[in-house]
Structure 1
Amino acid sequence: MLRINVYKIIIILPVFLFSNILAGNKKLTEVYVAIYKNIAVSEMRKTGIPASIKLAQGILESDLGRSDLAYKANNHFGIKCGKDWTGNIFYKHDDDLDSSGMVIESCFRAFSSPEESFAAHSDFLTDPSKLSRYGFLFALGSTDYAGWANGLKFSGYASDPTYASKLIRIIENNKLYLYDEPVALPKQNIDVPVMVRNDVIEMDKTYHYVSEVKASDIKYEKAKTSRSTRYNFLKINDLKALYAKGDETAQEIASRTGKDVFEILEFNEGISSPDDVFEQGEIIFLEKKKKSFNDENNGFHTVEGNETMYDISQKYGIRLESLLAKNNLNINVEPLSGEKISLIKNLSKKETPKHRIVEKFESYVDLGGLK
Structure 2
Amino acid sequence: MLRSLIVAFIVYFALVSYKENPSTTYISQYKEIAISEMHRTGIPASIKMAQALLESGAGQSSLAREANNHFGIKCGGSWNGGTYYLHDDDYNSKGQLIKSCFREFSSSFESFIAHSEFLVTQNRYAFLFNYDHQDYKAWAKGLKKAGYATDKAYPKKLINIIEKYQLYFLDDAGVEDFSPDLAMQDSEIATRKNKTHFEYPSYSPGDATETTIAQNKRSERKRMRSDSNKTYHIVGLGETLSEIAMIYSLEENALRLRNRIPKDAEPLKGERIHLRKKISLIKRPKFTRTPEFDGLAAQEDFIF
Percent identity reads 49
Unaligned runs of 5+ in 2: 1-12, 173-253, 262-270, 272-277, 288-304
Alignment correspondent of 1:203: 282
**Structure 2 residue 155 is matched with structure 1 residue 164:** yes
Can you list the C-alpha shifts for 1:27-78, whole angstroms capped at 9, x where unaligned?
2111101000000000000000000000000000000101010011000000
The alpha carbon displacement at 1:100 in A equals: 1.9
Question: What is the CA–CA distance in structure 1 between the aligned matches of 2:20 and 2:146, rounded to whole Å?
Answer: 29
The equivalent residue for 1:136 is: 127
Change (3 A) 1:90 1:207: farther
1:125: which partner in 2? Answer: 119
**Alignment of structure 1 residues 91-240 onto 2, 5 Å:** 91-127=85-121, 130-131=122-123, 133-181=124-172, 183-185=257-259, 203-204=282-283
Within the alignment, does 1:51 sit opposite 2:45 as a pair?
A: yes
What secondary structure does 2:258 align onto? coil
Write out per-residue CA displacement over residues 277-296 of structure 1, whole angstroms, 9 at most, x where no aligned residue. xxxxxxxxxxxxxxxxxxxx
Give, in whole Å, the separation in 1 of the partners of 2:137 and 2:25. Answer: 24
By how many angstroms is 1:96 displaced? Answer: 1.1
Mark the CA change 1:142 to 1:94 in structure 2 (over 3 Å): closer, same or farther.
same
CA-CA distance at 1:103 after TM superposition: 1.4
| Secondary structure of the structure 2 residue equivalent to 1:180 | helix
Tell me the SS of whatever aligns to 2:69: coil
SS of the residue aligned with 2:71?
coil
How far apart are residue 102 of structure 1 and its match? 1.7
**Alpha-carbon displacement from aligned partner over 1:1-37 (angstroms, at most 9, x marks no partner):** xxxxxxxxxxxxxxxxxx99x9469721111010000
Alignment of 1:265-284 (within 5 A): none
CA separation of 1:172 and 1:87: change in aligned 2, threshold 3 A? same
Amino acid paired to 1:203: I
CA contact (8 A) 2:259 2:285 kept: no
1:153 shift after superposition = 1.1
Cα pair distance change 1:74/1:142, threshold 3 Å: same
How well do the aligned residues superpose, as a CA RMSD in angstroms?
3.0
Matched, 1:70 2:64: yes
SS at match of 2:132: coil
Specify the SS of the correspondent of 1:80.
Answer: coil
Q: Relative contact order, CA 8 A, sep 6+: which one is greater?
A: 2
Work out the CA distance in 2 between the residues paired with 1:107 and 1:206.
36
Give the deviation of 1:202 after TM superposition. Answer: 5.1
State the partner residue of 1:262: none
1:126–1:207 contact (8 Å) kept in structure 2: no
Alignment partner, residue 81 of structure 2: 87
CA pair 180-202 structure 1, distance change in 2 beyond 3 A: closer
Q: Would the aligned equivalents of 1:186 and 1:204 in 2 still touch at CA under 8 Å?
A: no
Q: Residue 186 and residue 62 in structure 1: after superposition, are their counterparts in 2 closer, same or farther (change >3 A)?
A: closer
Please say if residues 136 and 201 of structure 1, whose CA atoms lie closer than 8 Å, have aligned partners that are also in contact: no
Checking the alignment, whether the CA contact within 8 Å between 2:42 and 2:281 is kept in structure 1 is: no
**1:185 Cα deviation from its structure 2 partner:** 2.3
**CA 1:33–1:82: 2 relative to 1, 3 Å:** same
User: Please, which runs of 5 or more residues in structure 1 have no aligned partner?
Assistant: 1-18, 189-198, 209-371
Change (3 A) 1:206 1:89: farther
Q: Quick one: structure 1 residues 167 and 207, their matched pair in 2 at CA, closer, same or farther if it must change by over 3 Å?
A: farther
Change (3 A) 1:206 1:73: farther
Shift of 1:186: 6.2
* AA of the residue aligned to 1:118: F
Aligned residues: 177
Deviation at 1:204, TM superposition (A): 3.6
Q: What's the CA shift string for 1:128-179, capped at 9, x where partnerless?
A: xx11x10000000210100110111111112211111000000000000000
Q: 1:150 to 1:169 in 2, by over 3 A?
A: same
**CA distance, structure 2, for counterparts of residue 92 and residue 116 of structure 1:** 20
Alpha-carbon offset, residue 184 of structure 1? 2.5
Query: How far apart, in 2, do the equivalents of 1:74 and 1:207 lie?
Result: 29
Gap change, CA 1:124 and 1:23, over 3 Å in 2? same
